[in-house]
Chain A
Amino acid sequence: MMLTLFETLLLGIFIAAIVVASHWFGQQAYTWMPVAATAEAEQVDRLFSFLVAVGAFIFLGVIGIILYSILFFRAPTGDYSEGHPSRGDARIEILWTAVPTVLVLWIAFQSYDIYERLQILGLTPVVHLHLQEPAVAQTVQNQAKPAVEQIEVIAKQWVWSFRYPNNITSNELHLPVHRSVRLVLHSQDVIHGFYVPEFRVKQDIIPARTITLVLTPNRTGKYRLRDSQFSGTYFALMEADVYVESPTAYSHWLEQATQQQKKTAVNPAFSAGAQSEKTLLNSGWRTGSFKNYT
């Protein structure tokens, strides 16, 4: 394929333009995500930005060629004369098989690298996470404690409950900031999913199995946990409040919770609010239950 000087110049400008544009898209990608509230979230966002940049480059490149063809290679109406007879070019075909293969391996390597940094499954202590811990947190008391705070998450249709180290149970998830937390996930009935969008990582909860998820919240605030695996009639309502707070506020809340009478969250299946929801169409179908299966 011989190109004239003008065509080469045009091609150069086109490639430069899509490089700039895809870099811009990659940077924009950070703003398309919810705020990042864990150390893991920052890693995921970095990967997403990379994927968007690579994807935008390919998308704009191919679309550019197709649009150029639509604009400039039109046949006059009714002219069904033939185009060119080229049936292929081994060099080009090898190129467009080899380049995507390399690209895919590169993307896979980047994803693998970031997955390794997450170390979200299992008990392995997460080295880089300790770097995130501020020096203030390194008190003698903290060192005596296990490095990882462990909280049990119990899902059932359609309420969440959380059991804390001092055996307190609550329907709110409180987490100390800048400390890695090991969430031990249990389900009492069907498959549920643990998902706080600001934390990024998500994990299904399988009945009769224990799955752990290690996270390090690094931004204080109030978030929303929601069930991410379809769990039946009131699936949409299975949410809980999540508070990421300073270690002092966290231990203060733990103490308070010990003294207070335990409040139970309202299960939407039995709450008057959900039962009397007015809708245009009413099926009269009843809520699923394990009548046949317990």
Chain B
Amino acid sequence: MTDDLSIASKLPAKQNWRRYFSFSTDHKVIGIQYIFTTFIFFLIGGLLAMLIRAELLTPALNVVDRPLYNGLFTLHGTVMIFLWIIPCLAGLANYLVPLMIGASDMGFPLVNAIAFWIIPPAGILLLSSFFLPDGTAQSGWWSYPPISLQTSSGQFINGEFIWIVSLVLLGISSILGGVNFVTTIVWMRAPGMTFFRMPVFVWTVLSAQILQLFCLPSLTGGLILLFFDLALGTNFFKPLENGDPIIYQHLFWFYSHPAVYVMALPAFGIFSEIIPAFSRNPLFGYRSVALASFGIAIVSAFVWVHHMFASATPGWMRLTFMVSSMFVAVFTGIKVFAWTATVWKGKLHLETPMLFALAGVVMFLFAGITGVMLAAVPFDLHVNNTYFVVGHFHYVVYNTITMAIFGALYFWFPKITGRMYAEGWGKLHFWLTLIGANLAFFPMHPLGLQGMVRRISSYDGRYQGWNIVASLGAFVLGVSVLPFIANVVVSWSQGIKATNNPWHATGLEWVTSSPPPVENFEEIPIVKRPPYDYGDPKVAVIEPVGEEGS
């Protein structure tokens, strides 16, 4: 980095809200910028979802017309994945990773700021396509050709055009972020912070970002070829011009399946931080949990064809990818069992972060089980492209990952703001979310088993019962964010001052002040203890075997 940049990052921060709207290179400011921006997109994506659910209250088409419905689910998926979960977790990691490893900032502060500042214009560009004469992209977030190449206006700039441009921009942002995270974690750890003293959250960010660096170029390449087909008249993916639409599916899922783990791994990291702190026990099997992150990352790079079992996929490929997909369950199983064992015979505190974490683990287990079912080819051929799949992945992206994000925001709220949130409002938010999420997404499983296909704007009357339940659940979820927003706004300005370590948690981020100074630590700490150093030796329930560290 150049000299003036390192000077810029050392200037005293303007201690007011304006710095969050300025071009800052402080990883903590950027982290909050990410989280705030992506939360706005989360609310927009949620509104799109509620419009979809409003349409599906009744079998007939009566709320939105069909092209608009197709635009709604296309943008709902795109916004939630590429503008909420992935960048929001990047924001959390941005804030936390340097603090957790005892660094004063990210490796490349300027690159960090650029990666963030790509996101707002790319998101606004995507949403602006609602105002085009023929609207947004309408081919689903997969954008499979040839349907994605079928534009209604025939104009050069259309919804699909904007969708591709904005996704390529978001991809560039993710790559910049990935390079930065990997560099920071590998090279900027404090003295004594060995790999096996890193918190699991840092392990999961590292594995997720390496996975992203490995797989994302495939999507970008696929999108660029799709762009050529759409705008310049090439025939890469046009089947009737000797192009091959199946190649696009491979290029797309080669990233977009691992993307699920780019999102899920940090969520597992969040569970691994919150659960030991609120159980007062060390994370059980820390090393195997940390290494399982890389197990998940490696295996998940070779499972993408399970999205294409019903496509033009030969039998041998179906069966190979069935087996590889099922092996993800072994590595995620290690984590679920470890969290369960951590809770066992602990001293549990059920404050809001812990409630979100425990509920997230339970619902992730459910999602994992339906995931193994989906990997079984003969069963998948029945439920492929039905609401069973929609239910399964919403249990992952909402009931697991979004639950983890909320848990993290409550857990680190005192650290980030220097104030405590209101516990009662937090619990209200939790219960509304838990009830709403299960009402919204559980009914999708029976609907899918009964054969209701996804992406339909009107449906057979026999599916109405469960659809009403799902729609009500979606509206409950819409309401559930209100206590969260109220809590954050009021507590940030008027909450009780937080101590450095209100949860009595281990981890370097709890050593420094709340909120941390610009340089993070008065002096760079020297790490001498293993992570998750909880536990009173006098109350051992299992004779410690293979004691690590110290």
Contact = CB atoms under 8 A, between A and B. Distances in A.
Interface of A: 1, 32-34, 43-44, 47-48, 51-52, 55, 58-59, 62-63, 65-66, 69-70, 73-75, 79-93, 96-97, 100-101, 104, 107-108, 110-112, 114-115, 118, 120-122, 189-191, 193, 195, 197-198, 200-204, 206-209, 211, 224, 226-237, 274, 277-294
Interface in B417-466: 446, 449-451, 453-460
B362 interface: yes
A282 B65 CA distance: 6
Contacts of B150: 190, 232, 288-290, 293
Interface stretch (B14-22, B97-105, B108-116, B314-322): B314-322
Nearest to B505: A80
Contacts of B70: 230, 232-233, 235
Contacts of B63: 279-281
Among A91, A100, A279, A283, find the residue whose CB has the most chain B CB atoms closer than 10 A: A283
B382 A230 contact: no
B453 A226 contact: yes
A236 B456 contact: yes
19 contacts: A66-B358, A69-B345, A73-B279, A83-B279, A85-B534, A85-B540, A86-B282, A86-B544, A87-B285, A88-B285, A112-B322, A114-B378, A121-B315, A201-B378, A230-B454, A280-B64, A285-B135, A287-B66, A293-B238
Contacts of A120: 381
Contact of A86 (B284, B336, B504): B284
B347 A83 contact: yes
B539 A84 contact: yes
A41 B146 CA distance: 31
Nearest to A203: B310
B117 to A, nearest CB: 31
Contacts of B530: 87
Contacts of B458: 236-237
B548 A87 contact: yes
Query: 3 tightest CB-CB pairs across the interface, nearest first?
Result: A197-B451, A85-B535, A75-B347
Interface string B534-549: 1111011111111110
B536 A279 contact: no
Given A83-B539, A107-B372, A121-B314, A292 B280 contact: no
Interface stretch (B217-225, B323-331, B406-414, B485-493): B323-331
Contacts of B381: 44, 120, 200-203
B236 interface: no
A97 B67 contact: no
A292 B329 CA distance: 45
A219 B410 CA distance: 56
B310 A204 contact: yes
A242 B530 CA distance: 65
B6 interface: no
A233 B140 CA distance: 11
A66 B361 contact: yes
Given A51-B379, A83-B346, A230 B139 contact: yes
A184 B310 CA distance: 15
B365 A97 contact: no
Interface in B282-307: 282-288
A89 B545 contact: yes
Interface in B218-275: 233, 238-242, 245-246
Contacts of B460: 224
A74 B279 CA distance: 9
Given A84-B539, A208-B239, A290-B150, 4 more contacts: A32-B449, A62-B365, A84-B541, A283-B135
A114 B454 CA distance: 26
Contacts of A89: 284-285, 542, 545-546
Among A1, A87, A115, A291, find the residue whose CB has the most chain B CB atoms closer than 10 A: A87
B542 to A, nearest CB: 4
Given A88-B284, A200-B381, A279-B65, A82 B347 contact: yes
A231 B454 CA distance: 12
Q: How large is the interface on B (under 10, 10 to 19, 20 to 34, 35 or more residues)?
A: 35 or more
Contacts of B545: 88-91
A81 B347 contact: yes
B348 interface: yes
Among B340, B450, B460, find the residue whose CB has the most chain A CB atoms closer than 10 A: B340
Contacts of A232: 70, 138-139, 147, 150
B377 interface: yes
Nearest to A98: B330
Contacts of B64: 279-281, 283
A89 B139 CA distance: 50
B369 interface: yes
A207 to B, nearest CB: 4
A101 B330 CA distance: 6
A83 B456 contact: no
Given A85-B544, A233-B66, A44 B379 contact: yes
A66 B369 contact: no
B373 A55 contact: yes
A63 B368 CA distance: 14
B319 A75 contact: no
Given A82-B534, A84-B345, A207-B146, A292 B233 contact: yes
A75 B280 contact: yes
A230 B285 contact: no
Contacts of B65: 277, 279, 281-283, 285
Nearest to B341: A92
B239 A209 contact: yes
Given A43-B378, A58-B369, A93-B285, A66 B343 contact: yes
Nearest to B235: A293
A164 to B, nearest CB: 25
A79 B449 CA distance: 47
Interface stretch (B28-36, B151-159, B207-215, B512-520): B151-159
A286 B310 contact: no
Contacts of A229: 144, 310, 385
